[in-house]
Chain A
Amino acid sequence: MPIETPFSKLHALVVDDAPAQSSTLRGQLQMLGIQRVDVASNPDDALRQVRGGKHGLVLCDYSLGHKTDGQQLFEYLRDNNHLAPDCLFFMVTAENGYASVAAASEHKPDAYLLKPITASDVEDRLRAALERRKVFEGVTRALAAGDHAAALEACELVLARKDRWFMQAMQHKGQALLQLGRHGDARAIYQAALALRPQLVWAQLGLARAYKAGGLLNEAEQQARQIIDSPDGQRNLAAYDVLADTLETRGDTRAAQWVLRDACAAVPSAKRHRLLADCAYRNGDIETAVDSASRVTKLTQGALTAQAQDTLMLAQTLVDAGQAPQALGLLDQAQSQFSTLPQTETVSHAIRAQALAANGDAAAAQRAADRARETQRGAKADFATVALAKAELMTGHEEAGLELLGAVVSSDHENTRVQQLVRNALRQTGHEEKMDSLVKSATGALQGRVTEARTLFRDDRIDDALGAIDAALHDYPDNTGVLFQAAQINCLALRLKKQANESMVDRVRLYLARLDKLMPGNDRVTQMQRYFRETLALLQDAAVAA
């Protein structure tokens, strides 16, 4: 007869490559009344088992004798939503590894357990983690529903208890405020936390983010640098990311690249090199891009985190670096490694066409370009469409290539990252002087339509203005600039009409959802979301008054 304990209902998974260790851990869990304990001996096995969603506790060893370590497995599972939201993740580490693991990760497991582990260690951590989960249940539920206002209210309830969860509630509150676009209030929360304890890294980081969200870029930069320069800050990846974002927002893409390079030096993971390769590639620093992209493929070879996109990125950088034969070899290899996915097929053919053209094999290059064109599904502001445009330009289809680049620019005309890619493509194919005219003609018509909608609105022809901006959006559905204008004009119209027109409200919701997907975590999107919420509140007040 199994013992009834607070943990009896948990279904646990032990991840460890050493059978002796996993049977010890399993025995310790059983001593706590946890009868259902599965065992995985490697990351792939763990992924397969955890995907079922039945586990409430994962006990994972940090070193798995595999290319993927416990922390990478944890981040992969969290990033890809393979872990159920209420699943607890405990990391088991050897003593010496603890500090570096803890400092480098922004995603923290629910607990770190240090070897040697006893059943009572596990019990203590389990008890605390379950209590924390219960205390923050309201916050978690609101966050899962994307309702940051409700999350904020739930935080206030925990703060009012003034108990041992006070500081963690403050941390959640700061995040909720940032999500709500209330960066001034978020700043105040983080400053209050730092007044209690100046060395709190989460508060320093939150403060940097709040500064950045409020457009105080110098303060954000200074705050982020201060974290990186602190004793444990050298491995604080989130701080590097805030700093790089801040510098890029200011337009200093070179400095952003240096920061990402420093982060790679501190933690040379595939994830970090991926970010550096992207940034260097946009900046036209091909040498760094090749170096980092090849590190990514080396680091992920045979690991859970291998992606077809990484191989394509490396192939593209090799073509740009004048190493077409290597690029071709890589593409052949990728074809056998990754089953052809529709989303990578076009770009793979396009890069092959470029490489063949650079290699002087015009006929084969034409054939590859034809295949790329056939499989292409509409121009987007992305790496794949630029690769196809380059293939067109390099196989003698100048008009088609330029037209495609124009379409890339107009499909998201305010996206500076994509414009960097377009400019590089033009330069590499000997068309750099066409950049200005291309941008002008690609954005001219679009700007005209936005301006028209705004003029109509100013002239009190509100319904005509709404129709005009809606039509523009129909032609450029992923254009973030037009989406912002559409959200703004609809909100202004709602405010003027002083009534909540259901279909307009729904439309704004749709625009904001699309913006959030296209630009995750972007400060301007957050501000527009806030403006929309305030609009809804005004309408509600008006309804009550009437």
Chain B
Amino acid sequence: MSAGAGAALVVHDLKNELGALEAALERLALAPAAAAASAAHDQCRSLRQRLVMYLTLYGGADELRAHCEDESPSELIAQVARRHDRLDLPVAAQADADAPSFWYLDRRLVGLALDAAVHNAQRFARSAIRLGALEQDGHLVLSVDDDGPGLDPACPSDAFSTGLGTALCRAVARAHGCRRADGGVRLANRPEGGARFELWLPT
């Protein structure tokens, strides 16, 4: 799929969701209800986050650029977890004991990539999502685990619905200088069940 076709697909998808949100708000205007309002708010936030992703990927004239600072990986995954934590689907963060205490990365871009991965995990997870961080082969590996059914064997490489999430994660890894054949993004089934997403960022 070309970048242009991918982008059009995303916009189409966002338009449909916006329509759904509009309908929900219309119903709410007639009959206010706290639970429905809260759901509409969640939907609105998710739409906004995906628009930000979309603009990050396709909004600039140039290739995505990372402005790296020394950041704490464990603090970063904790922040992402806090953003997505829900009572019905808790999101936890736990860095490896020997995870690096700092890593040079663009906090905003990596945060967006993890947001996308968590969003995706939320669609499949049964009861919990877990974020992790560790160092391997000169890379910082940030992971998102879910306890869902695992990857569809028919399409193991692209579990993200429109490809926006994967494209964004690859672009983020590339902007950080990642030259791995897999584009710095790995999706695999966990031996204990569920799927595991990994983002690989080089030193």
Contact = CB atoms under 8 A, between A and B. Distances in A.
Interface string A163-203: 11111100000000000000000000000000001000000
A96 B76 CA distance: 23
A120 B83 contact: yes
Contacts of B48: 116
A163 B101 contact: yes
Interface of A: 95-96, 98-99, 102, 114, 116, 120, 124, 128, 162-168, 197
Would you call the interface of chain A mostly helix, strand, loop, or mixed? helix
The 7 A-B residue pairs whose C-beta atoms are closest, nearest first, are A164-B72, A164-B102, A167-B70, A163-B101, A164-B101, A124-B79, A120-B83
Contact of B67 (A102, A120, A164): A102
Interface string B67-84: 100111001000100110
Contacts of A99: 65, 67
Q: Which of A120, A164, A165 has the most CB of B within 10 A?
A: A164
Contacts of B203: 197
Interface in B17-52: 48, 52
A116 B45 CA distance: 11
B108 interface: yes
A164 B75 contact: yes
Contact of B52 (A116, A166, A168): A116
B101 A96 contact: no
Nearest to B48: A116
A165 B70 CA distance: 8
B138 to A, nearest CB: 13
A168 B104 CA distance: 12
Nearest to A167: B70
B122 to A, nearest CB: 17
Given A95-B56, A98-B67, 15 more contacts: A99-B65, A99-B67, A116-B52, A120-B83, A124-B79, A162-B101, A163-B72, A163-B101, A164-B71, A164-B101, A164-B102, A165-B102, A166-B102, A167-B102, A197-B203
B60 interface: yes
B104 A197 contact: yes
A114 B108 contact: yes
A128 B82 CA distance: 14
B55 interface: yes
Interface in B114-172: none
A163 B56 CA distance: 31
Interface string B100-111: 011010001000
A112 to B, nearest CB: 9
Nearest to A161: B101
Interface of B: 48, 52, 55-56, 59-60, 65, 67, 70-72, 75, 79, 82-83, 101-102, 104, 108, 203
A120 B84 CA distance: 11
Nearest to B45: A118
A430 to B, nearest CB: 56
Nearest to B177: A199
A120 B67 CA distance: 21
Given A116-B52, A162-B101, A163-B101, A168 B70 contact: yes
A465 B75 CA distance: 62
A162 B100 CA distance: 10
Contacts of A167: 70, 102
Contacts of B72: 163-164
Contacts of A120: 79, 82-83
29 contacts: A95-B55, A95-B56, A95-B60, A96-B60, A98-B67, A99-B65, A99-B67, A102-B67, A114-B108, A116-B48, A116-B52, A120-B79, A120-B82, A120-B83, A128-B75, A162-B101, A163-B102, A164-B70, A164-B71, A164-B72, A164-B75, A164-B101, A165-B102, A166-B70, A166-B101, A166-B102, A167-B102, A197-B104, A197-B203
A95 B102 CA distance: 25
A338 B60 CA distance: 45
A99 B63 CA distance: 13
A417 to B, nearest CB: 38
A34 to B, nearest CB: 18
A95 B48 CA distance: 15
A164 B67 CA distance: 18
A239 to B, nearest CB: 18
Nearest to B82: A120
A96 B60 CA distance: 8
A151 B71 CA distance: 23
Contacts of B60: 95-96
B142 to A, nearest CB: 15
A231 to B, nearest CB: 10
Contacts of B71: 164
Contacts of B79: 120, 124
Nearest to A115: B52
B14 to A, nearest CB: 15
Q: Which of B52, B56, B70, B102 has the most CB of A within 10 A?
A: B70
Contacts of A164: 70-72, 75, 101-102
A166 B79 CA distance: 21
A2 B26 CA distance: 33
Contacts of A116: 48, 52
A164 B101 CA distance: 5
B136 to A, nearest CB: 19
B110 to A, nearest CB: 13
Nearest to A164: B72
A538 B116 CA distance: 63
A155 to B, nearest CB: 15
A128 B75 CA distance: 9
A350 B59 CA distance: 57
Nearest to A162: B101
Contacts of B65: 99
Nearest to B72: A164
A503 B9 CA distance: 81
Contacts of B83: 120
B65 to A, nearest CB: 7
A460 B108 CA distance: 68
B94 to A, nearest CB: 16
Contacts of A124: 79
A197 B101 CA distance: 15
Nearest to A98: B67
